[in-house]
Amino acid sequence: MEKGKKESGAETADLDVGTPAVPTVNWDDSHMTTSYANVVNAASTREEVTLFFGTNQTWNPVGAKEFNVRLSDRIVLSPFAAKRLWTLLGVILKEYEKRFGTLQIEAAKSSGAAGDTSTSSAKSA
């Protein structure tokens, strides 16, 4: 063997160099909190996507001209994280509908209505 070169056959014999290693994710829930929301809205700029979560405080929504929503949480995501969330939610909802039936969502009559899940009209930067 030449000076300065190592015998590496034994070291790499157990490695599958054709398949990339998948890292293990360790979920740390020691600081996790839980919130409930029945209303969600979103806004975005070029750099971030913001999700707003809250609960409808209107006691009798039939015939109500206004809805009072108490916002409880704001989550700010990078566009890449938002896209991953969108993909993940699509998979979860597809499974849900397969088990429990199709979810019907009424179209919001005006922007910002309670339960409106459309993106608000925030301008991109």
Note the pLDDT tens digit of each residue in 55-109.
999 988 788 889 899 999 999 999 999 999 999 999 999 999 999 999 998 765 5
Task: Answer whether 0.75 is exceeded by the pTM.
Answer: no
What distance in Å separates the CA atoms of residue 6 and residue 29, rounded to the nearest whole number? 44
Q: What is the largest CA-CA distance in the chain?
A: 88
Q: Residue 122: pLDDT band by 50, 70, 90 thresholds?
A: very low
Residue with tokens 């979920």: 27
Please, which residues have CB within 8 angstroms of residue 48's CB and are 6 or more apart in sequence? 76, 77, 78, 79
pLDDT at 103: 94
Report the relative pairing of strands 39-44 and 49-56 from DSSP bridges.
antiparallel
Domain ranges of the chain: 9-100
